[in-house]
Structure 1
Amino acid sequence: MMIVGSCTKLILLLTGVVAILQIIHLILLNHLDSIRLQNKVLIGVKESSVSPELEVKSLYSQLEATLKNKHVLDSTGVFRIANVERITKHTGFSIPTPDVTLVTQCSFDHIFKLVPLSKRWQGTISVAVYAEEKDVHEALWKIAYLQSCFQVFKEME
């Protein structure tokens, strides 16, 4: 008789523990869904709030201002060097990137070759873009288009 009473108490206790765990599970699932919904809303607002044309023009203006205000001359006094830093972040769950940066250079004519390169190399990329004085504005437009049109080049500050 004593064993039956203790078994009943144990079953009731375990049933209560399972019920509490299920409630905690539902709360955590609800919290996860709300976080996912917030991320979708934020991404949707960010993508739809500005037209692509305005985004490209804005990026071009930022690049042009950086080139005008934050450039230095090299040691020969011939070349302007503008340090334009863009921090990109891959969305979703990704493997942590190693502490290796791919460093390259190109003329503005070949800048679109960075798109397939960025798809193959998942780490940080540092690029030096060369453009003659007469081609600077065209180079800035191409960089602005890259940053606007390709997710991998989007800025996350």
Structure 2
Amino acid sequence: MLDQSYYEKADAIIEQYGRKPASLIPIMQDIQAEYRYLPGELLNYVADEIGVTRSRAYSVATFYENFSFDAKGKYIIKVCDGTACHVRKSQPVKDAIVKELGLEGKKCTTDDMMFTVETVSCLGACGLAPTMMVNEDVHPKMTPDKAVKLIRELRGGNQE
């Protein structure tokens, strides 16, 4: 069960876009920007509030790859594995990141909710391969050592 503050924030976002079905995607985008994921319970609430069926809201959320029902870390690391990045050894970069963060199996987010690691098909920076992104920042010509160094810098720069 979500804290009441989630619903209050959702209400503020809904008011910004209006209580109409056409507002679904921008509302979902703002909720995901706020929490780094779409809580299913909150998506149900939004659907009810703007007059769309819950199944419609879920079909939209699952159609677009950008939406996630899983909580993500503060730093979302996207490692490109498109053709150019793959042939220039993006997999060892991802392997080094996963090892550094202690992730195992299908787990992609650290327990402290600081990092989430994802593989993406293309970042659109093929000439800079292998490439990865951390949140909105592109990091070109990555190596396993550079990736580990970046992770350590991000950890050290986060004394909250």
Larger helix proportion of the pair? 1
Structure number with larger C-alpha Rg:
1
TM over 0.5: no
Question: When the two structures are superposed, what TM-score results if normalisation uses the length of structure 2?
Answer: 0.21
Q: Which has the higher contact order (CA 8 A, sep 6+)?
A: 1
